[in-house]
Structure formats: C-alpha cells, structure tokens
Structure 1
Amino acid sequence: MIDQSTVDRIVETSQAQIVDVVSEFVSLKKRGINYIGNCPFHNEKTPSFIVSPHKGIYKCFGCGKGGNAVNFLMDVEQVSFIDAIKQLGKKFHIHIEEKELSPAQQQVKNDRESMMAVSAFAQKYFSYMLHKSDEGRSVGLSYLRDRGFRDDIIAKFELGYSPENRTALTDEALKNSYKLEFLEKTGLTIVRDNYKADRFRGRVIFPIHSISGKPTAFGGRVLKTDAKTAKYLNSPESEIYHKSKILYGIYQAKQEITRKDRCFLVEGYTDVISFHQAGIINVVASSGTALTVDQIRLIARFTPNITIIYDGDPAGIKASLRGIDLVLEQGMNVKVLLLPEGEDPDSFSKNRNTEQLQKYIDENEGDFIKFKTGILLKDAQNDPVKRAQLVQDIVRSISVIPEPFIRGEYIKECSSLLQVREQVLYDEIGKLTRKKREEGYKNQMQANEPPPEALYPELANAALSTQNPYELEEREIVRYVIMYGERMLLNEEEFPNEENIRVGDFIISQLKADDLESVNPMYNKILKLYEDNCNNQGFVAADFFVRHLEKEVSQLASDFLSQEKVLSKIHQKRGAVNVEEEHVLGVVVPKNVYELKLKKTQKLLETCLKKMKDIKSDDIEGQTELMQKIALLNKVKSLLAKELGNRAIV
C-alpha cells in the first residue's frame, strides 16, 4: 500500500494541475477562468464538460460526472485508485514508497501488472529481434524497408519481429522469470495440454498501444505466402486489451488530433504508419475490425471532426458504409475521402509529400450524403425499386443525426440530389424515429433496464425527492458542511459578543439534539466524515471532501463546488437578498436546519392527526396520548416558525 501522506501529496498536486491531467485526454479551450471541452464519458455535440483549475475539479453538466484529477483518470483509463495514483505520481515526479500488501491485495494487483509487464517485455523482445538478430534483420527489417518505412518511423511505432522458432519468445520470457500463465492470458503464447507455441512466430510485429502509450496487444503480419495462414493476426481480448475500445495509433496521434481539430480514420497498421511518414500525424486505424461506438467516442475526446479515408475498392466501400452511420449517430462531423481506384492510404501517401497529400485531402474530401448517394446511385440507375431503397438508405443515415439543424440541412441536400420532395424525406424520418422509439421501449422492458431517471441526474434527483420528502433541505445541509464546514457561523465583526461555533459543528449538534438522520446514506456518511475529521490540524472541509478516496464522496463535493456560491433557490424564494452566501452563513445555515425540522414536524403532525381520525372512540388512553403529542408538535412548530422569522442566531 502507498502511505497516506504520499497519496495526499499526489492528490494535492494533481488537483492543482488538473488541466494538465485532463488535457491529455480531452481537447480543452479556455473559457474565462475555466476550461471547456466535449465530455469523454458521454456523447455530446455542444461542450458541457468544465475543468476548474482554481477549484481543482472537473464537472460535466450533461451526464453529471465530476470529481478530482484522480477520479478523472480512474474513469477515463478504467484503472483502480492505486493505479491512478501511481500514474499521477510518475507524471509529477513524486516518489512512491509502498507498504506491504495483504496476500489477497497483492494477488489482485499482480494480475493486471503482470500482464502489462509481459506485454512490455514482449514489445522490447520483438524490437530487439528485429534490429539485432540475423533472422530479424534479413527477414523483418528487410520487409519493412522494402515497404519504404524509414528507421525513425519504425522506432516511433516500436515495430518488431517474432522469430520462426516455435517457442522463442516463450522460452526467453520464462528464462526472465515471466510466468506462462500471463503469457497465455495476454495471448502471446498458445497453450494446449502439454503443447505451447508463440502466437506470432515468423511475423512482423505491430504493437498496439493504450492511450497512455503502454503496449497492451500486438498485430502480426506473416511474410510467407501460404493460403492456409492468415495474413494478419491480432492478440485476443484480455483484461488489458479490448479491441473495440482502442484505435491503432491513437497514442502517437492524440496531440496532433487536438491541434488540428480533425482526425483521419484509415483501416490498417501500415496506412497509419505511411501517413505519419508523409507528415500527416492526426491519423488512426480501426485495425481491420468494424468501427465501433467506443472507438468513435475515443476520437470524440479530442475532436468532433473526422474524415474517413477509403481506397478505391467498391466492395470494401459498401461494406464500410455502416461506419458512417455510427459516426453520425455519435454527433460527429463526418467527411469522406475516396482515393483513386487501385490506391490505398499506404500506397497513396508514399507517392506524395506532405503538401501534395494535404492538398489532395482538402480538395477531395466531401460530405457523406454526396459520397453515399454517388456510390448507391450506380447500382440503382433507372430501377424505381432500387431507387426507392436508395432513398430509404440515405434517409436512415440522416435520421440518426442527433442535431435537428444539421439533420435539416442534410435533408435539403438529399432532396436536391435525389429529386425527392423534402416533405417525403421528413415523413420517412418520422416513421424511422417512431419505429426506433418503439423498439427501444420494447428492448428496455425485456432487458429490465433502469428507468430514464437513472440515466439523467436531474430526473434521478426528482425521483429521489419522491422517496425522500426532505431531500431539498438535507442536500442543502450537506452542501453547507462540505463548502463551509470549518468556517465560523457568525461574522465576528457583526456579532463580536456572541458565542460562535463552526458551521459543521452547529449542523451536527442541531441534528443530534433531535436524533435526526437522513434516509440518504451518503448524506449520513458526509456528516460522520466531518465529525471524525473536523478537529484535524489544517482541516478545510471542501479540500477534504473533494480529495476523499471514495469516489462517491469526491463526486458529491465536486458537484457542490462546481456551482456558483450565491444563495440557493430555497432561500432566494423566501426573499433573502442575492449575495454571496459565505457572508451570511449565520442566516442561511440556521434557516435551512430549521426548515428541515419544521418540515419533519409537519409530517409527524399530519401522521398524528390521521391517527386521531382512525382511533377507536373507546380508546381514551390512546386519544389522550395522541392529543398530548399533537399539542407538543404544535408547540415545536410554533417555535420553529418563530426562529425562521429571525435573521440570525442570538
């Protein structure tokens, strides 16, 4: 385990440098004192993802995610808290000393780390064999140089070679104390009973890097001509590699994608490498697999603009048209570039310098409607049935575009190209939308998926309010504890002779006096955390909660910190002046506590009055007890109402 002081230092440093952390994954633009960009956690057209450097937090007002730099790294890289701390420690050059873990903790930690270590070893081994072994130089390096790849590009992508020997890598890894278990889990070694063999033997190796630059998988190209052997072979899925969630070249391209605000999408490894060599850096590949939503969202972290590059093979183009619809559905701005027939991105880029390549792209990339219509019209020609199918196909693509204005512009263009009235296209889109909605509801019911309020924070809050009638007041109380817990309740200049108390202490004492607890366990946890830690030296509530190791705690604190520090609606509604609330804590905090008590008192009173109606007439003892309780509650209600009429505690 990492000692707490080191964790605190790393969290504090990363909080202060949160823009630096987030900008590695999201294209940020300065907006006033904050930074704004497209959220990496959900699809959005209009940026609602805010990074606040002076608060040290991020917050998405679209999906509700928020927190500190550690939370962000955990979510975006899908790593554990400890792994996130290690990455940030390395980034900010903070030395980490780990304490001994329990056997169970060590096992969990070792599994992923061992797989990453085996992959890193394999990458270095393959690269070494390419450059240093006779077989690697004569077979692998000769092949790459024959393809026209320069040595600096080979080094940039860490290309390698796996020898023909059946167990060359496996034997070398075992000799260096790497376990066969993790060689098998990463797919580097195939194990069947007593048989084992290197998966990539006799192939040129293309390492597949994570977004942070670590090798997590490999692609291998065979150099022999053998009809029974697959030309390309990729690592299987593993705990560290999910092919649908990564793009080849994303690590090498991400900064240039952000800088150019555009991403070029090609199909294969050599397409990416050739473009880099030609000076076009902002390019990635789907590695021969069908384009997925996760891959599109990965690009969307850095830019909303994507150009899909197709070679001149008509069959390949038609098979790839589905990818355009996926890109459109994610709200991306998509263009299409068709290369001359007989050319692919690899061959085309080799015959042009950077200026010529960029000029061709600028002059020939176009919107998807013209591209798709042109492709499909060749088949339809004068056949009315095929033409009707073409219209439906184009309309289906337009219907998935989430932005109504852009959808409308494409309908105009489609109407002009196909000589079809706009109203006909709108009617078709309406049919598709209704059908999709009905299927969505049906699938949701069959899958027992959560209701819509579970997907949207504002609806979730509304749903919670129906379960917890005191949600509004309790949430405000918790907000005061997080935002101002260590502050003094009264302004000492205005009330020099009054007994003072901290905001958090006042709230805790008031709630304990009446044995009040929330039905929301998170609110109770916040109050307990404050109570347990408020007397620590240098305690500042906002910093403590936003840096807390529990993700839900720091998330809630970030939600509050991302809001403006003006009086909340609950107090504005009652006529309070619209000033910064930290200057009138002696007014707003007690009022909110008394509002909660008054509301709970009224609820109890309603319950007692209802019981009084239902009680049997001969139950004199029960009637007397209820009447005494009602009288007491009415007295409490009167006292609370009186307190709510005061401006401050005296």
Structure 2
Amino acid sequence: MISKATIDSVFETARVEEVIGDFVLLKRAGSNLKGLSPFSDEKSPSFMVSPVKQIWKDFSSGKGGNAIAFIMEHEHFSYPEAIRYLAKKYNIEIEETEQSQEEKAEASEKESMYLVSEFAQKFFNSTLLNSNEGQAIGYSYFKERGFTNETIKKFGLGYSPEAWDAFTKEALGQGYKLDYLEKVGLTILREDGRHLDRFKGRVMFPIQSMSGRVLGFGGRILANDKKAAKYLNSPESEIYHKSKVLYGIFHAKQSIAKLDNCFLCEGYTDVIQMHQSGIENVVSSSGTALTPDQIRLINRLTKNITVLFDGDAAGLRASVRGIDLILEEGMNVKVCTFPDGEDPDSFAKKTPHDQLLRYLDENAMDFIQFKASLLMKEAKNDPIKKAELIRDMVTSISKIPDRIKREIYVQECSRIMDISEEVVFNTLAQLIQKDISDAGKKEKTARVSEQKAFEIHKNENAQVHVKVDVLYELERKIIEILLLYGSVEEDFEDVLLKANDDGELHEVKEINKYKVFQRIYLSLQEDEVELATPVFREIYNDLIQYFNENESFETEQYLMRLSPELSQEVTTILMDDERVALHNWEAQQIYVKQKDQTISQYVSETILTLRWFLVNKIIEEIKASISNETDADNSENLSMAMDYSKLINNFSGKLGRVMSRYS
C-alpha cells in the first residue's frame, strides 16, 4: 500500500498541464489550454485543460478529471500505478509496504501482464550487464553499434540468454504466472508441455508506451541462423498492439512538442543512434507499415513530420505510400533521404551533431518535390510514365483536407512538372469527386438500412417529443454555482417585513454579506427544498459539509474525497463552464457574459427560478386535484392556486421576465 503522505505529496506537486503536456500538444485558449483529444479521432480540438482549477475535460468523449484521472484513463493504470507514475515524474519518494502474494494474485489481468513485461525488461537488462554470456554477446554487439552505457540504460536494452528456458524459469521462480508469460508472448508452450523462451539468444529492445510502460519487445538474433527471422517482435496482446505503438515515443515526446517536429524512421537502432547524437524528437514504426493510429499519436504532439528514408532506392518506392496517410490526417510532411548505402543509424553515428542538424535541415524537402525527384528518374522522357507521375502527385494532393493547402500544392505541382494549373485542378477535381462518389455509395447503402430501421421506430414512437428536464438543469446549475463560487463572499439583498409606527407591515430591503454556499443553503432550508436528482443531492450535501470544514475551495483537494463517479460529474460541470473558450467567441467579436461579474445576482436569479419552477409544480398538482363534479367544493383548492399564482407573479417581477408555465 502507498502511504497517505506520498499520495498527498503527489496531489500537491503534480500539475495537470505538465502531466497532460507529456501526451498532448496544448495551446493557450484564454486562461485555459486546449488540444486534440487523445481519446478520439478528431481534427478540431475539443480537449480542455484548466491550470487554475487543475482539471481537464474531453468534450468529444465526455471524460474528465484531475491529473491522476488522466493517467488512469490514458494509460489504463490502476490508481496506485498512476500515483507511482506521477511520483517518478516528480522525483517523489514512494512510501509503501511490500506487495504480498495475495495482493499480486488480486491484480487484474492487464496489470499482471504489465508487471510481467516490466520484470522481463529488468531481467534482460541485468543479463546483458551482469552475466558473462550477456557481456560477451549482447553488450559487445551494442558497443559495436557505438551505443554508450548511458544510452543502453536510457533505452533499457537487454539480452535474452541462449538457453531454451532461462527467462521462463526465472520468472516462474519469482512467482509470475505462466498464463501471463504466454499471454504477453514471452514464453511459448509446446505441445509436449515444455516451456520455451520466445526471444532466446537475442539482444532485446523494450517497446514502451507514451508514459514509459513496457508493452512488448523487439529481439534481434546475432547468430547466423538462416531459418530464424533477423528481428522478432512480441505478438499482439491485451497490452501490445503494434499498429498503435511507435518505438521511442516515450523518450521523444517532450522534444517533439518543444521543437514542433517529429522525425520518423524505420528501425530501433535508427532511433537510438539519433538520440545519442542529440536528435531526440525521433520515433520509428519498428519495421511495420505506417498506420493511421501511429500518425495520430504524433498528431497529438505536433502537426509536422519529417520522414527519414534510407538511401536504398528500392525501399523508397514502397515506403512513400505512408506519405498519403500522413496527409490524410491533415499534417505537414517533409522527406529527408540519406546518401546511398546510408541510413539514419549509420549516418548519425559518423556525423557530428551540428553537421547532422544542418544536413537534416538542408535536405528535408516538401513531399511534392520529393515525389517529383524520385519518380522522374523512372519516368525520364516517357510521356506515359510522366502522366502517371503527375496523377500520383495529384492523388497525394487530393488527400489533404485543407483547401488552401491543396491549392498551393497544385501550383507547386504545376511549376515542377511544367504543366498548366488548369489540367492539375481538373485532375484533382475528378479524384475528389470520385472519392465523394465512392463515399456516397457506401453512405447511401448504410442510409437505406438506417431509413428502414427509422421508419419502424418512427411508427412505434410517433408521438414522442424531446423535453428539457427543467428541474435537472436548475439543480445542476446550483451545483455549478457552489463549485465555482461557493466560498466567495458577496453582498445579497434580503427583503424583510417590518412594522412601521402605525403597526403596519411593509417590506424593508437590507444588504447583508454571505458566502455563496451559505446563501444557497439558507434559501433551500427556508423553502424546505431537497434536490431531487440523486447524484446532485449527494454532491450538494458533500459540498455544504466541505465548505463548513474549509475556508477556501481547492478543486483538486475536493476531487480527492469523491468517488470516481462523483468526481467525473463534478469535472464535467466545472469544465462545461469553460466550453465557450473552445470556440474563441471573442475573436469573432461575440462577448460571452462572465458569471463572476455579478455573482450575487446570478445566485439570486437561479434560486428564484428554482422556486418559480417548484411553485408552478404545486399549482399544477392543485389544478389536477380540482374535481369536475358540479356539487364539489373546490373553493379551498382554488384559493390556494390563486395565492401561489400571486407568488409566481412576484418571482416574475423580481426576475424581470414574462410569467410562463413549465410543462
């Protein structure tokens, strides 16, 4: 168990904008920060972070919370794992007791798979550095590649012994279950019942998530075995999906966001060598074809990708397909190639840092220029091949979502290929129209199915109308006011009945100071009102207790005391108040009235509106109880209804609104 002192220290130290900034590129939006949602595929930012309130809200998925909630959601951490992650980030020493075997057994399947992978990484690294075999084979290989001890430690490199089951034996001896060893692909169970190490006799490259969790491994064989694959990756598992992972993203994320550019290469050693050379904003797809999920991972940190290609011409043609995928995601892409026979690893190894930076800067070219230079060699003077090349370039341009960028690239294509813009535009229009047509056919098929389902549903629910739950919205507004202004002291107008010298009662207005939570509590107590919505009632009672116990309201401290469900609701209410910032209304000369300019008025109007609604509800109940019988005495009910109607008129006058009826 992690001590309460450690948890408190993590909560006090962790800054939500810093924690999320490791995973999402955040830009200033007024007093808040915004970025692309890490939980959904979107082109426009709907993810909001409030440094003042120390909370975040993702309007596309509905998720929200504090820094710990983000780590739990994004990395699928348990609560203790999130605390450990943040403690490590902020160099906070963790006070905790040793996990018992029973506690290990109770860990969820996913968490157990992470624990096994973490153990494996430590085992392989220790074997590399501390065993004779590891030093003679694995360590020597990494030294030949030019990797320093610091680099080996940074990337957690390791070595898996040549023995058939060295790792499996050690893991089982340490109490890890065979079931999880198999599920993460570290151990293979043969039909004869023997356990084999998948990566035996290989140097090991741990594959980490954006937060540094070990998801899987890449292993390179060193022996001259023609039957064995040179590189072997962990199989797909509950925690490792190769199409959604980029090698090196954990070490590169901060540099990518800071420099607003990501270098993308192919292999593990490319990434490591570039890092060692001082170029840290680099990741690789680990030898697999680039996927949209991998591109979106980069898109959270920057809009700019520079693809690094080996000097191998045969590989260039195959790799260039990934460029269209990058363009489809609305990103800016450049390409940099190395001299023949060189790759990022070999070139970075022999090139000083300053020269390497200069080479990357001077040789990174726009994708249009790159395609032209690459494919023109094939086309030469063949007009048919040249026409195919132009169509290939225009196809790439058609993938760009932004119309302005498309037009600029059309002009560039026209200039490079010495062909009229009109022809290029026409070709582009045809391709776009074809894409729209193809999408339309799919949509039409889906729409026909939906229409049939809708017709059935429509006939069954012909009389259904959407109605606003007024009471729910008003109660939610009261919770919002308490969260935003509960501890603020304001001047409120009290109306009292006092007798004059003649003994006649008349209204006297007094201005008194109250804290907002006190004013709301007293007003609801006076009317004997209890919130009807269970979740709001629970939050309301807890808030009143909190304000009575604390002088000021600290959002993060308050969220600590709530259950995950209540915490989610509170975060949603708090960040909905910030939603207007996403739309940048003021830039469009639309000015949203800020509630904190007239807090007392806002509080009073909300309470009056709630009273109005509740009184109106009583009137409706009275009207429903009036008998239609000719001899029935309804005088008392009618008198009560008239009295309550006068009260409604009174509310209407105070609110300055035309009297209405809720229904």
Q: Does 1:408 align with 2:424?
A: no
The one-letter code matched in structure 2 to 1:55 is: K
1:291 is paired with a residue whose SS is coil
Q: CA deviation at 1:579?
A: 8.4
Question: What do residues 327-363 of structure 1 show as CA deviations (whole Å, max 9, x unaligned)?
Answer: 2222222111123343332233334332333232222
Kindly indicate whether the alpha-carbon contact (under 8 Å) linking 1:336 and 1:367 is maintained by their aligned counterparts in 2: yes
Kindly indicate whether the alpha-carbon contact (under 8 Å) linking 1:162 and 1:205 is maintained by their aligned counterparts in 2: yes
Map 1:400-479 → 2, pairs under 5 A: 400-418=399-417, 419=419, 420-421=421-422, 422-428=424-430, 430-432=432-434, 434-435=436-437, 437-438=439-440, 441=443, 467-469=468-470, 473-479=474-480
Question: What do residues 487-546 of structure 1 show as CA deviations (whole Å, max 9, x unaligned)?
Answer: 456459999966776534554665684767567x65455334435644434463755655
Q: CA deviation at 1:413?
A: 1.9
Q: Does 1:11 align with 2:25?
A: no
Q: CA deviation at 1:641?
A: 1.1
Distance 2:449 2:137 in 1: 53
- Specify whether residues 205 and 499 from structure 1 end up closer, same or farther in structure 2 by C-alpha distance, changes over 3 A only: same
- Specify whether residues 88 and 348 from structure 1 end up closer, same or farther in structure 2 by C-alpha distance, changes over 3 A only: closer
Counterpart of 1:290 in structure 2 is 289
- Specify whether residues 616 and 470 from structure 1 end up closer, same or farther in structure 2 by C-alpha distance, changes over 3 A only: closer
2:320 is paired with a residue whose SS is helix
Question: What do residues 522-579 of structure 1 show as CA deviations (whole Å, max 9, x unaligned)?
Answer: 54553344356444344637556555452413422440564799xxx9xxxxxxx998
Counterpart of 1:333 in structure 2 is 332
Match of 1:592 among 606, 615, 631: 606
Counterpart of 1:123 in structure 2 is 121
- Specify whether residues 158 and 488 from structure 1 end up closer, same or farther in structure 2 by C-alpha distance, changes over 3 A only: closer
Kindly indicate whether the alpha-carbon contact (under 8 Å) linking 2:11 and 2:556 is maintained by their aligned counterparts in 1: no
The one-letter code matched in structure 1 to 2:185 is: G
Counterpart of 2:652 in structure 1 is 641
Map 1:554-565 → 2, pairs under 5 A: 554-560=570-576, 562=578
Question: What do residues 444-482 of structure 1 show as CA deviations (whole Å, max 9, x unaligned)?
Answer: 76998xxxxxxxxxxxxxxx9854356664543332121
Distance 1:213 1:293 in 2: 21
Between 1:57-66 and 1:289-298, the stretch displaced more is 57-66
- Specify whether residues 207 and 581 from structure 1 end up closer, same or farther in structure 2 by C-alpha distance, changes over 3 A only: closer
Q: CA deviation at 1:197?
A: 0.3
Question: What do residues 603-643 of structure 1 show as CA deviations (whole Å, max 9, x unaligned)?
Answer: 8989999x99xx99878869999977865664443232133
Distance 1:399 1:471 in 2: 47
Counterpart of 2:461 in structure 1 is none
2:311 is paired with a residue whose SS is coil
Kindly indicate whether the alpha-carbon contact (under 8 Å) linking 1:511 and 1:517 is maintained by their aligned counterparts in 2: no
Kindly indicate whether the alpha-carbon contact (under 8 Å) linking 1:399 and 1:433 is maintained by their aligned counterparts in 2: no
Consecutive unaligned residues of structure 1, counting only runs of 5 or more, are 449-463, 570-576
Q: Does 1:540 align with 2:538?
A: no
Kindly indicate whether the alpha-carbon contact (under 8 Å) linking 1:44 and 1:331 is maintained by their aligned counterparts in 2: no
Q: CA deviation at 1:366?
A: 0.9
Q: CA deviation at 1:233?
A: 0.6
Counterpart of 1:168 in structure 2 is 166
- Specify whether residues 275 and 6 from structure 1 end up closer, same or farther in structure 2 by C-alpha distance, changes over 3 A only: closer
Distance 1:371 1:313 in 2: 15
Consecutive unaligned residues of structure 2, counting only runs of 5 or more, are 451-464, 496-507, 586-590, 658-663
- Specify whether residues 121 and 331 from structure 1 end up closer, same or farther in structure 2 by C-alpha distance, changes over 3 A only: same
Distance 1:601 1:441 in 2: 50
- Specify whether residues 140 and 539 from structure 1 end up closer, same or farther in structure 2 by C-alpha distance, changes over 3 A only: same
Distance 1:442 1:470 in 2: 41
2:13 is paired with a residue whose SS is helix
Q: CA deviation at 1:278?
A: 3.5
1:204 is paired with a residue whose SS is strand
Distance 2:358 2:125 in 1: 35
Kindly indicate whether the alpha-carbon contact (under 8 Å) linking 1:483 and 1:560 is maintained by their aligned counterparts in 2: no
Distance 1:407 1:607 in 2: 63
Q: Does 1:81 align with 2:85?
A: no
Kindly indicate whether the alpha-carbon contact (under 8 Å) linking 1:200 and 1:233 is maintained by their aligned counterparts in 2: yes
The one-letter code matched in structure 2 to 1:405 is: I
Q: CA deviation at 1:69?
A: 1.6
Q: Does 1:553 align with 2:566?
A: no
- Specify whether residues 630 and 407 from structure 1 end up closer, same or farther in structure 2 by C-alpha distance, changes over 3 A only: farther
Counterpart of 1:364 in structure 2 is 363
The share of aligned pairs that are identical, in percent, is 41
Counterpart of 1:53 in structure 2 is 51
Kindly indicate whether the alpha-carbon contact (under 8 Å) linking 2:34 and 2:45 is maintained by their aligned counterparts in 1: yes
Q: CA deviation at 1:167?
A: 0.6
Counterpart of 1:484 in structure 2 is 485
Q: Does 1:185 align with 2:183?
A: yes
- Specify whether residues 428 and 623 from structure 1 end up closer, same or farther in structure 2 by C-alpha distance, changes over 3 A only: farther
TM-score, normalising length from structure 1? 0.79
Map 1:473-622 → 2, pairs under 5 A: 473-488=474-489, 490-491=491-492, 502-504=515-517, 506-507=519-520, 513=527, 523-531=536-544, 533-538=546-551, 540=553, 542=555, 546-547=559-560, 548-550=562-564, 551-560=567-576, 562=578, 581-582=595-596, 584-598=598-612
Counterpart of 2:219 in structure 1 is 220
- Specify whether residues 164 and 435 from structure 1 end up closer, same or farther in structure 2 by C-alpha distance, changes over 3 A only: same
The one-letter code matched in structure 1 to 2:364 is: E
Kindly indicate whether the alpha-carbon contact (under 8 Å) linking 2:483 and 2:574 is maintained by their aligned counterparts in 1: no
Q: Does 1:25 align with 2:23?
A: yes
Q: CA deviation at 1:591?
A: 1.1
The one-letter code matched in structure 2 to 1:590 is: S
Distance 1:578 1:353 in 2: 54
Alignment RMSD:
4.5
1:281 is paired with a residue whose SS is coil
The one-letter code matched in structure 2 to 1:13 is: T
- Specify whether residues 171 and 324 from structure 1 end up closer, same or farther in structure 2 by C-alpha distance, changes over 3 A only: same
Q: Does 1:72 align with 2:70?
A: yes
Distance 2:169 2:315 in 1: 41
Question: What do residues 260-312 of structure 1 show as CA deviations (whole Å, max 9, x unaligned)?
Answer: 32211111112212323433222111111122233223223332221011123
Counterpart of 1:457 in structure 2 is none
Distance 2:477 2:106 in 1: 39
